Amino acid sequence: MTPEEKRDLRDRFERWKNLPPADKEKLQRNFDNWRSLPPEEKATARRNFERWQNLTPEQRQRLQERWQQWRKLPPERREELQRRLQTLRDLPPEKREELRQKLQERRERLSVEEKQQLREKARERFEGLSPQEKREAREKLRDLRQNGTPAERKQFRERLREKAQREKEKD
Domain-located, residue 164: yes
Name the residue range of residue 146's domain. 99-171
From first to last of its 171 residues, the chain has per-residue pLDDT tens of 899 999 999 999 999 999 999 999 999 999 999 999 899 999 999 999 998 998 888 889 988 988 888 888 888 888 888 888 888 888 898 988 898 898 888 888 888 888 888 888 877 777 777 787 777 777 777 777 677 776 776 676 666 566 656 666 765
Whether the model clears a pTM of 0.85, i.e. scores above it, the answer is no
CB 169, CB 116: distance < 8 Å: no
Give the Cα separation of 17 and 83 in Å (integer).
44
* Domains of the chain: total: 1
CA distance 20 to 42: 27
Classify residue 77: in a domain, yes or no.
no
Q: Residue 160's pLDDT is what?
A: 59
pLDDT of residue 159: 67
Q: Is residue 104 part of a domain?
A: yes
Q: How far apart are CA 139 and CA 7, in angstroms?
A: 43
Residue 167 in domain: yes
